[in-house]
Amino acid sequence: MVSLKLQKRLAASVPKCGRGKVWLDPNEVNEISMADFHQNTRKLVKDGFIIRKPTKIHSRSRAR
């Protein structure tokens, strides 16, 4: 398995979120590993290989 640390960091800077919010498509690891510049990462986000996860909503029902 290829280390995607750099790609995850670059991908987090495109939609301006943290590294934990970024989802990398496990089926496209080879394609994602080739992206080593912001421009390439933006293309992968546009193609849908890299997605920003939705925010998790914590219910207040138990607290009430």
Of 59, 33, 60, the residue nearest 50 (C-alpha): 33
Cβ partners under 8 Å of residue 7, min gap 6: 24, 32, 33, 35, 36, 41
| Domains of the chain by start residue, with CATH | 5-52 (1.10.1650.10)
pLDDT at residue number 32:
92
- The pLDDT tens digits of the residues spanning 7-40 come to 999 999 998 999 999 999 999 999 999 998 999 9
Question: Where does the pLDDT of residue 1 fall: very low under 50, low under 70, confident under 90, or very high at 90 and above?
Answer: low
